[in-house]
Structure 1
Amino acid sequence: MNITTDKNLHTIESKKVNDTDSEQNVEPWVATKMTKMQIFWMIFTFVFTLGPIRVLLFILIHAISLIFYRIMAIGVNESNSYGKFRSKLIEKWTNIGSRLSIATMGYYRIKIVNKENYVNWKKNRNERIIISNHSNQQDIEIILSLIATGFIAKSSVKNIPFIGSINTCLQGIYVDRSKKNTWIFDKIKLRATNKKLLPIAIFPEGTCTNNKSLLKFKVGAFSAGAPIQPLLIKYKAGFPLSFINLYFTVQNPWIIFLNLFTNIINHVEVTFMDPVQPTEEEKINPKLYLENVQKKYQEVSNWKVHNLGYRDMVKYMEEMKKVKKNN
């Protein structure tokens, strides 16, 4: 597996990214800069594509979801079963509510690659650990529109309106990045083996990229030595604005928010990669398991893998702030 290391992160800013670039040569947090005219055009388009109405619909759907999940979650935590009836209700609303929510952002259709793998998963549900690459907050609802699952997330997510409450009700697990969280391995193993609990989804990169690169996976998802269902999410240019970055990297959060509700239509593709059954050697060696799964991701995505992680992203963001301040 070809993994590159780039510690001189501030040099990345000088590299341009667009849809014609070779996907093998894109750094993980580079995003195409928007001109002032493009930002003006985005705001103009937001107003005239019923953007405000779409935002209100988005908030309404999430408010209904929040009430529903809080009622469903009474007396249940991340280690207790919802029971068959409540689990079915939660799955149905999670898929429908999330599909409605992403429709307000212009995602009217999700293109599923290897649909037979998705059908088989829905039928058997043998893989209780779901993993995916991570580019933005849409990833969560894209996945939820297909699979009702809780997510492993940083502890601060718990306090985010709507998102935190919904993930808690879906039996999400929260970790403090400033501490060693060895207990998480036991939690993952429990979710991997207990079919009465909701599946657990993990972004093994540990942070977001620009949807043109991969980061070195962390071992957590592979620690249980359990079967895994890998997903690959790819975003395509929308209409009418094809120049907007849909990636939660170095973008201003308000720009991200605007672009979600600006385009009349956005495009997303979810590949249900072949489910992975670990070998006996991989079960006792999570790092080997990790490397083999990462290799599959690299082959399917045709993206470069960078030996970088969350702390490198924080350092990169700090460097970019210094550059902007000096300019």
Structure 2
Amino acid sequence: MEKGLSGLRGRDFELSDVFYFSKKGLEAIVEDEVTKRFSSEELVSWNLLTRTNINFQYISLRLTMVWVLGVIVRYCVLLPLRVTLAFIGISLLVIGTTLVGQLPDSSFKNWLSELVHLTCCRICVRALSGAIHYHNRQYRPQKGGICVANHTSPIDVFILTTDGCYAMVGQVHGGLMGVIQRAMVKACPHVWFERSEMKDRHLVTKRLKEHIADKKKLPILIFPEGTCINNTSVMMFKKGSFEIGGTIHPVAIKYNPQFGDAFWNSSKYNMVSYLLRIMTSWAIVCDVWYMPPMTKQVFHR
């Protein structure tokens, strides 16, 4: 900016000078920091995935052969295995939670529900070749608390549930995700709602307050950003998640984009096409940081 202004100084103003400032203003609008968070992260170096190399140019025969070999491995070897594992995991989750939901409320039902969720989520994470590193496990969310985390993709739920069960809160979806939601809620007190319905919001708040009042129930998992962000930064959390009360357990999830893009751009891809994209990536590598629990103080508004 300073370099451009130096050429305008020391001479009389001309009408054409307006175009320079107009250009800079439009560039700022197009490349603003907020809009970038809703598109896939740009990589510094190519990770041999075609979709992450927009400006691909032929470099060498050796590199091209490595890329072709990678395509064969990802699509002909890894993809069939991953699809099979994902089908097994999702089928067991739907069938298992449906069967558990038929049992009367008891400690045995809760234990069985947690076992089904843990087992099936771990199978699904294996289907993504997930490599997850958990840090500070002594701060894992406890029963009767609220877990808040940044949101990159629906697989955030599977990543976290691999290490412990949660009662989830989220928007009602259709398609494959809707089938999973309807099955899961039969075995565990998850809370699904329509974002556009005001009466649903009041009902959700009431149910959440009742949930955290019982210290024997699973911690509630909430994504306060309200939408998926590309994991390069964190959007401002909506305050509604913190007005319920109770103990807040912050969790940070960071994906490594070199092995695969975990971000779900729901405006471009449905759930099935998104899953196929990450199943044809190298792997899903991420770190999960559990942070010390916090409680709302008197001076917090």
Q: CA deviation at 1:35?
A: 4.8
* Match in the other structure for 2:82: 54
Q: CA deviation at 1:13?
A: 6.0
- Which structure 1 residue ranges, 5 or more long, are not aligned? 1-7, 16-23, 77-81, 286-327
* Match in the other structure for 1:272: 290
> Residue 225 of structure 1: SS of its match in structure 2?
coil
Matching residue's letter, 2:129? G
> Residue 245 of structure 1: SS of its match in structure 2?
coil
Q: CA deviation at 1:210?
A: 0.3
Q: CA deviation at 1:83?
A: 2.2
Higher RCO (CA-CA < 8 Å; seq separation 6+): 1
* Match in the other structure for 1:294: none
RMSD: 3.2
Q: Are the structure 2 counterparts of residues 29 and 99 from structure 1 closer, same or farther at C-alpha, using a change threshold of 3 Å?
A: same
Contact kept, 8 Å, 1:102 with 1:142, in 2: the verdict is yes
User: When the two structures are superposed, what TM-score results if normalisation uses the length of structure 1?
Assistant: 0.67
Q: CA deviation at 1:135?
A: 0.4
2: CA distance between counterparts of 1:170 and 1:231?
22
Q: Are the structure 2 counterparts of residues 75 and 116 from structure 1 closer, same or farther at C-alpha, using a change threshold of 3 Å?
A: closer
2: CA distance between counterparts of 1:163 and 1:155?
8
> Residue 257 of structure 2: SS of its match in structure 1?
strand
Q: CA deviation at 1:259?
A: 3.1
> Residue 147 of structure 2: SS of its match in structure 1?
strand
Contact kept, 8 Å, 2:135 with 2:289, in 1: the verdict is yes
Count of residues in correspondence between the two structures: 252
Q: Pick from 117, 122, 135: which aligns with 1:99?
A: 122
Q: CA deviation at 1:53?
A: 2.5
* Match in the other structure for 1:129: 146
Q: Are the structure 2 counterparts of residues 194 and 127 from structure 1 closer, same or farther at C-alpha, using a change threshold of 3 Å?
A: closer
1:176-217 Cα shifts (integer Å, max 9, x gaps): 211222222211111111134333211111111001122221
* Match in the other structure for 1:110: 132
1:11-62 Cα shifts (integer Å, max 9, x gaps): 77657xxxxxxxx998321324645798x96864432333122112211121
Contact kept, 8 Å, 1:83 with 1:196, in 2: the verdict is no
- Which structure 2 residue ranges, 5 or more long, are not aligned? 1-24, 43-50, 57-66
2: CA distance between counterparts of 1:154 and 1:99?
23
2: CA distance between counterparts of 1:166 and 1:10?
46
Q: Are the structure 2 counterparts of residues 141 and 225 from structure 1 closer, same or farther at C-alpha, using a change threshold of 3 Å?
A: same
- Percent sequence identity over aligned pairs: 21
2: CA distance between counterparts of 1:183 and 1:45?
49
* Match in the other structure for 1:314: none
Matching residue's letter, 1:86? K
Matched, 1:184 2:193: no
Which moved further from structure 2: 109-118 or 222-231? 109-118
Matched, 1:148 2:200: no
**Based on CA coordinates, which of the two structures has the bigger radius of gyration?**
2
> Residue 151 of structure 1: SS of its match in structure 2?
strand
User: When the two structures are superposed, what TM-score results if normalisation uses the length of structure 2?
Assistant: 0.72
Matched, 1:247 2:257: no
* Match in the other structure for 2:39: 30
Matched, 1:214 2:237: no
Q: Are the structure 2 counterparts of residues 202 and 97 from structure 1 closer, same or farther at C-alpha, using a change threshold of 3 Å?
A: same
> Residue 230 of structure 1: SS of its match in structure 2?
strand
